Amino acid sequence: MEKLSSKSSSIYENLIGINSMVAELIPSYVGFQNDIYMMGICGMGGLGKTTLASAIYYEYSNYFEGSSYIANVREKSEKGKLHKLQQQLLDKILGGSKKKINNVQEGVEEINSSRLRHKRVLLVLDDVNHKDQLENLAGKRDWFGLGSWIIITTRDEHVLVQHGVLKIYKPNGLDDDDASTLFCSKAFKKEQPEEGYMQLSQKVVEYATGLPLALVTLGSFLVGRTVKEWQSALDSSKNIKGNIHDTLKISYDGLEEMWKKIFLDIACFFGG
């Protein structure tokens, strides 16, 4: 089985209730019959799409003759590396490809004519944002053998519709109990708030609206901080209206100036 990235593994371990979510999802959206299943997982950033896809891959990859988890499709595609993802797909599932892929069209021809169509495979395409990416990595169902699963995560439902993906799952945020447990596991290293932090914790959980990434990030930011610092962070959040990136910016704004510069240096380094 392909090893998941440390980021995916970490989030997977921290997301409360993921196993029950997977158990409910699989019978409704994919199966083990002689069919080829395409399923989309769609929703806003921070909702846990990658986490859920990683959990499915981790749980079921051993049931297939070959498997591949293709992460960061959008990012790598925008850098002109889509043909490298095609190579990765073939190398992982076939145990090495006879031909080196130099461009996207070569990749399409190689995938279409390869032994993949005779294999029952599990393929995860994470963070897709354009139909061309799907057409070049999983263009047609008959590229893969009967019983295969192709799972796609995206923020854009229209991409799935354009590709003819009929099974689309839209995760909800965590319920209040699971959200509180996840947040407390980060902020207090246990499942319940410390004395004096109960009401503040409830406010933070309410503000995060069940988004796992927000709960983990805010919990990690607030761990070890005083009640006064918690209140200051909450007061800042009241003035923020917008998406998950605005929510998570609270953590960045709380850094000292030197650490902000270091953070930006690291972010730009990985962004090329």
Q: What is the mean pLDDT of residues 239-257?
A: 60
Q: What are phi and psi of 58, to 5 degrees?
A: -60, -40
pLDDT of residue 260: 74
Quote the percentage of the chain above a pLDDT of 90. 49
What percent of the chain is helix, strand and coil (3-state, nearest 5)? 55, 10, 35
CA-based end-to-end distance of the chain: 29
Ranges of each domain in the chain: 6-169, 176-270
Strands across the sheet with 167-169, in order? 66-70, 121-128, 149-154, 37-42, 167-169
Instruction: Please check the confidence at residue 247 and state whether its pLDDT lies above 60.
Output: no
Q: Pick the closest to residue 222 from 246, 257, 241, 248 (CA basis).
A: 248
Measure CA 11 to chain center.
9
pLDDT digits (tens, 9 = 90+) for 147-170: 999 999 999 999 999 999 999 999
Quick one: 98 exposed, middle or buried, by C-beta within 10 A (0-12, 13-18, 19+)?
exposed
CA angle 19, 178, 124 (to 5 degrees): 35
What mean pLDDT is reported for the chain? 83
3-state SS class at 213: helix
Give the list of residues 6+ apart from residue 122 with CB closer than 8 angstroms, or none: 57, 60, 61, 63, 64, 66, 67, 68, 148, 149, 151
* Of 86, 90, 130, 89, the residue nearest 105 (C-alpha): 86
**Bridge partners, residue 40, by sequence:** 152, 168
At 1 the pLDDT is 36
Query: What number does CATH give the domain 6-169?
Result: 3.40.50.300
Least-confidence region, from 50-59, 212-221, 230-239 = 230-239
SS3 167: strand
